[in-house]
Amino acid sequence: MLIMDLAKVLKGYLSAASPQGKPQGLTKLCLRSAAVYVTTSLYDFHERQTGRVAAEEIQDSMWDEVFPLLDQHFFQLVPLHLYECFLDNVLCALEIAGHFHNGKELMQYIALFFPRHIKRFKAQGYAPRVLMPTICCLHKCTNLEELYLEKADSSAINTYLLAHTLKHLNQIRVLSLPKQCDDDVASIIGINCPRLESIVLTGTSVTNTGLSWLLCCRNLHTVIMPGFFQGITPKGVALLLNGIPRLKHVVYDVMSDVLTYIDFNTSDSILPGKYLFTLIVPF
Range name among 88-92, 228-232, 279-283 with the lowest pLDDT average: 279-283
* Local structure of 53: helix, strand or coil: coil
- Specify the 3-state DSSP secondary structure of 283: coil
91-118 tens-digit pLDDT: 999 888 888 777 788 888 888 788 888 8
Residue 2: what pLDDT?
41
The SS3 assignment for 12 reads helix
Give residue 21's region: left, alpha or beta (phi > 0; psi -120 to 50). left
Over range 167-193, report the average pLDDT: 95
Neighbours of 87 (CB within 10 A): 22
Rounded CA-CA distance 246/64 in Å is: 50
Homologous superfamily (CATH) of 114-283 is Ribonuclease Inhibitor (3.80.10.10)
Provide the 8-state DSSP code for 86. Answer: H
Angle at 247 between CA 245 and CA 252, to 5 degrees: 135
| CA gap 158, 132 in Å, rounded | 11
Give pLDDT, residue 10. Answer: 60
Residue 46: burial class (beta carbons within 10 Å; 0-12, 13-18, 19+): middle
Q: Would you say residue 271 has pLDDT above 90?
A: no
Lowest mean pLDDT among 136-145, 168-177, 270-279: 270-279
d(CA 283, CA 280) in angstroms, rounded, equals 10
* Most confident of the following: 21-25, 181-185, 223-227, 256-260: 181-185
* Average pLDDT of span 129-146: 92
Lowest mean pLDDT among 8-12, 55-59, 191-195, 210-214: 55-59
Assign 26 to helix, strand or coil.
helix
Local structure of 22: helix, strand or coil: coil
pLDDT exceeds 90 at position 135:
yes
Domain extents in the chain: 1-113, 114-283
**pLDDT score, position 14:** 60
What distance in Å separates the CA atoms of residue 109 and residue 122, rounded to the nearest whole number?
19
Report percent pLDDT > 70 for the chain: 73
